[in-house]
Amino acid sequence: MEENRILRHNRVLRYDFRERVVHWFAALSYVYLMLTGLAFWSPWLFWIAVILGGGTVSRVLHPWVGLVYAGSVIYMHGMWRQDMRITKLDREWTKMIGAYVRNEDEEQLPEHAKRGFQPYAPVDRFNLGQKYLFWVLYWGGLVLLATGLVLWFTEYIPWNLRFLRLISVILHPIAFLVTLGAFIIHVYMGLAVVRGGFHAVVRGDVSDAWARHHHRLWFERIERNAAKK
């Protein structure tokens, strides 16, 4: 509950324990799937499977870990689907996305960039970039799940539905490459661009200054809820 997110010493609870656990289940399972998937994709990368226990072990665990990843993504959808809705205000945020990527403070922007609009449009709990990444990983995860199940149980696919195998062989790596791109962007933004983002998914909390700067609408709502108590 957001009214319980105000912490002591000017800290705000960004992600509660459940959110962090599910996030790391998704992250770690995806990394394993990425590594073993690359090993299966090319003989030049099969050494990855050897490091991870051998080809047989990787082949057995890959689909099971895939279920863990899919379950984590679906669970995150249940937690965050309201927060991830794209709004009109999100589209206003696109006007400052260049400054956001460059990690510029508002006072660092040139004067011409400040004319006609508010450079740092107020953002709710997640900004538009985070929402796009979430939906790419969510829908990509569902495609990986569906095609992965077909490839896992190929021998049970009826002959008259054999086209499903061909579609899965094509779509599975495509969905992987799309989600891989989103995953790399997500890691890069969290580690290199938005300072404090990685701390939030490990410890759960951020400074109130960080929350006000990056997610002002969300922080102001937390303050209002706390003031009602």
Residue 55 vs residues 61, 87, 151: alpha-carbon distances, Å? 10, 46, 17
Residue 130 within a domain: yes
Q: List, for residues 107-145, the tens digit of each pLDDT value.
A: 444 444 444 434 456 788 998 889 999 999 999 999 999
Q: Once rounded to an integer, what is the mean pLDDT over residues 180-196?
A: 89
Residue 96 within a domain: yes
What pLDDT is stored for residue 120 in this prediction?
A: 53
Position 97 pLDDT exceeds 80: no
Residue 108 within a domain: no
Residue type for 130, please?
Answer: Q
Residue 110 within a domain: no
Q: Give dist(CA 110, CA 114) in Å, integer.
A: 7
What pLDDT is stored for residue 104 in this prediction?
A: 55
Residue 185 within a domain: yes
175 close to 143: Cβ distance less than 8 angstroms? yes
For the chain, the domain total comes to: 1
Residue range(s) defining the domain that contains residue 138: 13-103+115-227
The proportion of the chain whose per-residue pLDDT surpasses 90, expressed as a percent, equals 58
What's the whole-model pTM score?
A: 0.84
Q: Give dist(CA 80, CA 146) in Å, integer.
A: 22
Position 51 pLDDT exceeds 50: yes
Q: Give dist(CA 12, CA 208) in Å, integer.
A: 6
CATH number, domain at 146? 1.20.950.20
Query: Residue 70: pLDDT band by 50, 70, 90 thresholds?
Result: very high
Q: Once rounded to an integer, what is the mean pLDDT over residues 177-187?
A: 95
Residue 2 within a domain: no
Contacts of 6 (CB under 8 A, 6+ apart): 12, 13, 222, 223, 226
Across 60-64, 87-91, 113-117, 153-157, least confident range:
113-117
